[in-house]
Structure 1
Amino acid sequence: MLLKKFIFLNIGAIITAIGLEVFLIPNNIIDGGVVGLSIMAHAITSQPLGVFLVLLNIPFVYLGMKQINKAFALRTIVAIILLSFWSAYFVPFQAVTDDLFLDAIFGGIITGCGVGVIMRNGACFDGTEIVAIILDRRSVFSVGEVVMFINLFILSSAGLLFGWDRAMYSLVAYFVIAKMIDIVVKGLDESYAVMIVTAAADEVNKALTEGLGRGVTIIYGAGGYTGADRKILYSVVTRLEIDKMKEIILDIDENAFITVNAVHDIVGGRLKKRSGH
C-alpha cells in the first residue's frame, strides 16, 4: 500500500514538474499558493525552485502535522521533495511554445492533472491549503474562500513582478489548474444525489428502475403541512443522466418536486446500471 502511494505521488510530481518547467515558468506564468510564491522567489534570486518549495512549505507542513494528521503531513513532505527533484530535472528542457495563451492552457491542464493525482493520494504541494483547512474550522470563511483570497494576493504580486499581462495569463492558468484538479479528483463522470417527492412514487420508481437502469431507495415520510404519508425516492445518477431522469419523472408527474445535489464521494455499493431490463 505504501509503495503504491509512493508510485502515484512520484507520477503526480513528474506531471506537475513538466507543466511548471516546460510551460509555465519559462514564460513567467505562475500558479497560486506556495508554488506561485516559490516561482516568484526563484525568478528574483535564480535559486532552484525546489529550495523555495521546501523552505516555504515547512511552517505549513508543521501546522498540518499538529492540526490535521501526521500521515497527511508526511505524504505532503514526500510529494514536495519529489516535486523539487523533478522540477530540477526538467529545468534544461526547452519551452514547447512561445504562445502565452497556449502555455497558460496546456501548462494549466498538465499541472492540474499532476496536482490532482497528488490530492487523490492524500497529499498536497501547497501549504496555503493546509492554512485554509485550519481556518475553515475556526472562522466563517470556507476553504475555497480562503484559498481564493490568498491566491488573488499572490497573482496580484505576479503582476508587479512580471507585468500585468503575465498576471492575467497566470489567472487563466490558475482556473484551468483548478478545473483539472476537480476532474482528476472527482472524475469526468460526476455523480449527483436526487430526491423526488411525487404523488406517483410507485410509477416513478418503476420507470427509473426500468427506463434508466438505476436503483432507487424509498424513504417513508409525511407532509409537513398535511401530515399525509408520502414515499420519497432517492437515487444517485451521473451528470449525463440528470436530464433524462427529469424527463422520465415529469412525464409521469409534472408537479413532482425534485432536488439535485452534487455527490463528492461514494463509499460502498456500486454506481452502475442494472442489467436485464
Structure 2
Amino acid sequence: MTPSQHKKETAGKTLKRGVFLTLGALLVAVALEVFLVPNHIIDGGVVGVSIISSYLFPLPLSAFLLILNIPFLIFGYKQIGKTFTISTLYSVSVLALGVHFIHGSPTVTSDFLLAAVFGGIILGLGVGLILRYNGSLDGTEILAIILTRRLPFSVGEIIMFFNIFILGSAGFVFGWDKAMYSLIAYFIAFKTIDLVLEGLDESKAVTIISNNAQDIAEAIMARLGRGVTYLYGKGGFSGEEKEILYVCRHPP
C-alpha cells in the first residue's frame, strides 16, 4: 500500500467514525429531550447527574453535559490516550448541541412507561453506536477504565456502582416512581447496547499471542481504552511459556 493509499484509507475510517459518532450522539439527544427528560426519567453516569443538576440549578442540560465531562476528559487524555479522548469529546459536544437545539420540542408521550421503554431503546442505540466506534458519552466510563487497573473490579461493575447512587438520587429529586422508571429505561438501554455491540459484530473478541505481550497490552489500554485479560499457556513443541492477550473487540 502506498502512502497516499494509506492516507485515504485512514481518512475514510476517520470520516466513517465521525459519521457514526454524530448519529449516535444525536440519537441520545432525541432520547433525552423527546422521551426521558420531559418525563423526569434519567440515565446513569454524567448524563444522569446533568439531568438532575439542570432541574435543580438555572443552567440548561447542554451546559452541564459539557461542564461535568470536562474534568474526566482532561484526566482521560493523560491516562487513556488521545484517540479515545478526542472521540469522546466530539461525541459529548455533538450531544450537547443536539440537546440544545431539540430542547422544547413536543414530547411524543406523557406515559411514563412508554417514555422509559422507547427512550431506553433509542438511548441504547445511540450509546451502542458511539461505543462501537471507540467513543464514549460519559466521563464515569473513563474513570472506570482507569480505576479497573487499580481495583479488582471490571469496568461494568465500577460503572454500575456509580449508577446505583445516581439513579437512586432521582428518587429524592423526582420521586421514587420516577426512579423506578429510570431503572427500567437504564436496563432497556443496557440490553440495547449489548445488541448493537455484540449482535452486529462479526468478531466479538481477539486473542493475541506475542513475545511483546506487555507492550501490546499497554498500547491497547492507552490508545483504545479497552480492557485486556492475560492468559498463560505453553508452546506445544517448544514447551516455552507464553503470555496470551484476550481482548473484547468491537471494531468499526
State whether TM-score is above 0.5: yes
Structure-1 residue corresponding to 2:104:
92
* Sequence identity percentage: 53
Task: With the length of structure 1 as denominator, give the TM-score of the two structures.
Answer: 0.68
Structure-1 residue corresponding to 2:123:
111
Kindly indicate whether residue 158 of structure 2 is the aligned counterpart of residue 146 of structure 1: yes
Task: With the length of structure 2 as denominator, give the TM-score of the two structures.
Answer: 0.75
**Please, what is the CA RMSD of the aligned residues?**
2.1
Which one of 86, 96, 99 corresponds to residue 74 of structure 1?
86
Structure-1 residue corresponding to 2:147:
135
Residue 59 of structure 2 aligns to a residue whose secondary structure is coil
For 1:192 and 1:116, the matched residues in 2 are separated by: 14
Structure-1 residue corresponding to 2:189:
177
Write the letter of the residue equivalent to 1:21: E
Map residues 2-17 of structure 1 onto 2, 5 A cutoff: 2-17=14-29
Structure-2 residue corresponding to 1:227:
none
For structure 1, the residue ranges without an aligned partner over 5 or more in a row are 194-220, 222-262, 268-277
Which one of 166, 169, 189 corresponds to residue 157 of structure 1?
169
Maintained 8 Å contact 1:29/1:169: yes
For 1:90 and 1:17, the matched residues in 2 are separated by: 7
Write the letter of the residue equivalent to 2:51: I
Deviation for aligned residue 1:46: 3.9
Structure-2 residue corresponding to 1:207:
none
Kindly indicate whether residue 53 of structure 2 is the aligned counterpart of residue 48 of structure 1: no
For 1:265 and 1:2, the matched residues in 2 are separated by: 18
Higher-Rg structure is 1
For structure 2, the residue ranges without an aligned partner over 5 or more in a row are 1-12, 206-235, 237-246
Structure-2 residue corresponding to 1:83:
95
Kindly report structure 1 stretches of 4+ aligned residues shifted beyond 4 Å.
Answer: 188-193
For 2:85 and 2:204, the matched residues in 1 are separated by: 31
The C-alpha deviation readout for 1:6-29, integer Å capped at 9, x for no partner, is: 211111111111111000000000
Between the two structures, name the one with larger relative contact order (CA 8 Å, sep ≥ 6).
Answer: 2
Q: Greater helix share, 1 or 2?
A: 2
Deviation for aligned residue 1:191: 7.0
Structure-2 residue corresponding to 1:26:
38
Maintained 8 Å contact 1:22/1:93: yes
Maintained 8 Å contact 1:42/1:52: yes
For 2:74 and 2:37, the matched residues in 1 are separated by: 27
Structure-2 residue corresponding to 1:62:
74
For 2:196 and 2:47, the matched residues in 1 are separated by: 19
